[in-house]
Chains A and B, each alone.
Chain A
């Protein structure tokens, strides 16, 4: 399991990254993160929605009500232009952190 703080910090970039692949909805986003992380990242399901709403208010994503295959009403989210910009910035930051770690650990174990 990942530390709570790390999960919280990675929530927005993860949502942005997943939505950059195409529109999706809350439940699918949670399942996708679980699958990709091998169950190591577990969001409290309900906490995702306030984050999605905040990101929508910031103009990063937009939502629409649609109909699922079974006829159920479902809210879909998709990335907006500002969201793509935000993703680019956040991605650069995470890549930098990742590079630093790789570098430090390589030097330690050489």
Chain B
């Protein structure tokens, strides 16, 4: 008995073997095959025959690979460049923070405290987009902008309050040097700002995020 899901899985393996490795491209081509199979079976063709025709119509794997390679060459080069720039940028921040923390704070407790704050700031900066699908969607444009911007402003207010009322309880260094715990004020601004930006995203932008995470069809 012909199993379409199994046949699709085998076809994906063949595509991977020739070098079409992008899951997004494979998902798109698989959708195409399934649409074609569905149309053919509706007009009376057997599922096995329909699948064979659909694969044949799609074209030879090697030719497809060459065509995709032509289009992806530039984008993958750009992606690598962007990743490179990000790595250098993050590396620079880490290095600068490490030097600053080491020179500014004499005690190891302060150094750990400040380093933890910098680490959390970097983690939120790199991973906040993963949290976006979990934020509530506000469909009304005005309300979305209102709440999003309030959230961003709230970060600055919370940080100011933190500096105003909590920081003074800690000992300042010579020349009014900020205590290590003061670095967390930046973290507060960042968390609120990221949440605000996440809330500002439209339904369509959210959809792209969400859909890219859907389990593979037919599996």
Complex contact A44–B71 (CB within 8 A): no
The prevalent SS among residues of B at the interface is helix
Q: Which of B31, B64, B72 contacts A72 (CB 8 A)?
A: B31
Complex contact A64–B59 (CB within 8 A): no
Task: Provide the residues of chain B in CB contact with A49, threshold 8 Å.
Answer: 25, 28-29, 32, 68
Complex contact A50–B71 (CB within 8 A): yes
The answer to whether residues A53 and B58 also contact, given A66-B207, A75-B31 and a CB cut-off of 8 A, is no
Q: Mark B15-57, 1 if CB is under 8 A from A, else 0.
A: 0000000000101110110111000000000000000000001
Interchain nearest-CB distance for B16 vs A (Å) = 15
With CB as the reference atom, state the residue of chain A lying closest to B64: A46
Complex contact B59–A27 (CB within 8 A): no
Q: How far is the CA of A83 from the CA of B133 in the complex (A)?
A: 30
Q: How far is the CA of A27 from the CA of B35 in the complex (A)?
A: 7
Binds A, one of B1-9, B174-182, B210-218: B210-218
Interchain nearest-CB distance for A37 vs B (Å) = 16
A73 part of interface (Cβ distance < 8 Å) = yes
Q: How far is the CA of A73 from the CA of B72 in the complex (A)?
A: 22
Interface size for B (C-beta < 8 A) is: 28
Q: Among A57, A65, A66, A72, which residue has the most Cβ atoms of chain B within 10 A?
A: A65
Task: Provide the residues of chain B in CB contact with A66, threshold 8 Å.
Answer: 207, 211
Report B186-219 residues with CB < 8 Å from chain A CB.
204, 207-208, 211-212, 214, 217
Task: Provide the residues of chain A in CB contact with B70, threshold 8 Å.
Answer: 50, 54
Complex contact A47–B67 (CB within 8 A): yes
B75 part of interface (Cβ distance < 8 Å) = yes
- Our count of residue pairs bridging A and B at CB distance below 8 angstroms stands at 73
Complex contact B71–A27 (CB within 8 A): no
Q: Mark A2-26, 1 if CB is under 8 A from B, else 0.
A: 0000000000000000000000011
B74 part of interface (Cβ distance < 8 Å) = yes
A45 part of interface (Cβ distance < 8 Å) = yes
Q: Which of A45, A65, A67, A75 contacts B58 (CB 8 A)?
A: A45
Task: Provide the residues of chain A in CB contact with B36, threshold 8 Å.
Answer: 27, 45
Task: Provide the residues of chain B in CB contact with A75, threshold 8 Å.
Answer: 27-28, 31
Report B67-110 residues with CB < 8 Å from chain A CB.
67-68, 70-72, 74-75
Q: How far is the CA of A53 from the CA of B69 in the complex (A)?
A: 11
Q: Could you give 23 example pairs across A and B, Cβ below 8 Å?
A: A26-B28, A27-B35, A44-B57, A45-B32, A45-B57, A46-B58, A47-B63, A47-B64, A47-B67, A49-B25, A53-B25, A57-B74, A64-B207, A64-B208, A64-B211, A65-B214, A67-B211, A72-B31, A72-B34, A72-B217, A73-B27, A74-B31, A75-B31
Q: Could you list 17 further interchain pairs (A-B, Cβ under 8 angstroms) beyond the known A25-B31, A27-B35, A50-B70? A: A44-B58, A45-B59, A46-B32, A46-B57, A46-B63, A46-B64, A50-B71, A54-B70, A57-B71, A57-B74, A64-B204, A66-B207, A66-B211, A72-B217, A74-B31, A75-B28, A75-B31
